[in-house]
Structures are given as C-alpha cells and as structure tokens.
C-alpha cells in the first residue's frame, strides 16, 4: 500500500465525500475539498483541522464548469505542493424514465456523472503525468453493471460510462507510477439514496465511507463497496432476466 498524503475529494460537502474526508483526516492526511456548497465545506474544514490537526484547503467548484475544474485542481496542487490522490466523487442521482418528457433531468445526470467526471480525470491525470506519480479514484456505482429501467436508466448509463472511462485510463497508464481505481458502491446512505427506502442492502454512511476508504487505500483496479454483499450480487445483476430485473430495481 502506497501512503498518499495529499488527497483531493470532489463533492465533499455532504454524503460519501464528507464521510471519506473525515476518515482520511483521522489518518493524518492533508485534504483538498471542493463542492458547490462552500458553507458546508468550511464547517467541515474547521472540524477536521481542529480535531486532527491536518491541513485542509477548500474551493467552491461546480464540476460542470470544466475550465474551473482544471483551475481548482492546479490551485490545490500549488497550495499543497503536490496531489497524491484525486477522488472523483461529485455526482447526482436524478433521473426519469426515458421518453416521459424529462430529457433535461436525464441530460443533467449524464453531464454531471460522465462529462464532468472526464474533466476531473483529465485535470488530475495531467498533474499526475507532470509529477510522474499519483492515484486516480473514480466513484462509479454498482448500477454500472448493466442497463437499468425506470428512474435509473440515465444514472446507470452515466455510471457505466465513468467506469469504462476509468478502466480505459488504467489501461493507458499501465506500467507507469500512476494508479487508477474504479469503485462500484452499492446502496450506501447519502442524499442520493434517500429514495431507496428500507432495505437490508443499505449500508450506513459511516460503514460505507469506511469501506470506501479501505478499498481506496488498497489501490486495487476495481472494488465493490462494501465487499459483502455486492461482490456476491454482481453476477446476479449481470445475468438476471429482464422481467426479474424490473421488479428488483
């Protein structure tokens, strides 16, 4: 395991981004946190600095402002001296069935979860190439494993795209000092899973964040998070008949 000191987390003002920030700060890592909601970011930064004595720098960032992504990542690098790890976490969970007059909602989902993820990956890997070191982490989703119906169609497609993007970058950088990890989280408590309802498959935010950090630290190419039950459910998801899939989702 490589010790990564300076870590960027996008979408860090709430949910899994916030949970990961707390876990990494407890381990003594310096953090660069960005999100649209700066009030939450500043509160989190003050908490982590006072509790753990780590460096925490923050920036307001809408990841759909692609030029700003490059600017903010470079500012983080300059302020911290280097970027050892970038976690592409920012995303949205909107979506409606295709053909129901909700193109704009579905477009926003694909734009944020895939195109903005590409911008973050481009900005991060550009810095890593200059440094000749780094770890890129792309937070995809278990839903990336196949096309899904109802409100999840655009979301699953966007996450499948981000997973494929990370896999392609990993192949491109094979044999270099730059590592790439694709994370496939299942149901973890956050703002995006608010509509899931009660299910034994839903992990608490604390457990989910801990599992994400554990998987990130191992720097494996791909990881289901939490490992149980999602690694066992992965072949079920891939080969489940469509009729059953519609009842499952």
- Residues recognised as catalytic: 155
Tally helices (H) and strands (E) across the chain.
9, 7
Residue 151 near residue 98 (C-beta atoms within 8 A): no
How far apart CA 164 and CA 38 sit, in angstroms, is 31
DSSP string, 115-163: IHHHHHHHHHHHHHHHHT-EEEEEE--GGGGS---GGGHHHHHHHHHHH
The tokens describing 102, both together, are 């909700």
User: Cα-flanking dihedrals φ and ψ of residue 51, to 5°?
Assistant: -80, -35
Q: Is 182 helix (H, G, I), strand (E, B) or coil?
A: strand
Structure tokens at 243: 């009729």
- The helix or strand, by DSSP H or E, that contains position 35, with its residue range, turns out to be strand 30-35
């Amino acid at each position: 395991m490589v010790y990564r000191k300076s870590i960027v987390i996008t979408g860090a003002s709430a949910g899994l981004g916030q949970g990961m920030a707390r876990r990494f700060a407890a381990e003594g890592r310096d953090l660069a946190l960005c999100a649209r909601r700066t009030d939450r970011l500043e509160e989190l930064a003050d908490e982590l600095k006072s509790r753990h004595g780590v460096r925490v720098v923050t920036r307001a960032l809408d990841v759909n402002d692609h030029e700003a992504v490059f600017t903010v990542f470079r500012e983080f690098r300059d302020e911290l001296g280097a970027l050892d790890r970038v976690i592409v976490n920012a995303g949205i969970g909107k979506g409606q069935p295709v053909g129901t007059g909700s193109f704009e909602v579905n477009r926003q989902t694909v734009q944020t979860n895939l195109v903005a993820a590409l911008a973050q990956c481009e900005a991060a890997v550009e810095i890593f190439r200059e440094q000749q070191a780094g770890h890129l982490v792309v937070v995809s989703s278990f839903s990336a494993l196949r096309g899904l119906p109802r409100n999840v169609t655009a979301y699953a497609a966007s996450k499948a795209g981000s997973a494929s993007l990370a896999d392609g970058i990993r192949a491109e950088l094979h044999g270099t000092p730059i590592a790439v990890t694709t994370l496939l989280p299942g149901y973890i408590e956050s703002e995006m899973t608010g509509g899931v309802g009660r299910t034994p498959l839903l992990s608490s935010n604390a457990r989910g964040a801990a599992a994400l950090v554990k998987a990130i630290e191992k720097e494996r190419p791909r990881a289901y998070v939490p490992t149980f039950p999602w690694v066992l459910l992965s072949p079920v998801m891939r080969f489940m008949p469509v009729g059953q899939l519609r009842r499952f989702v």
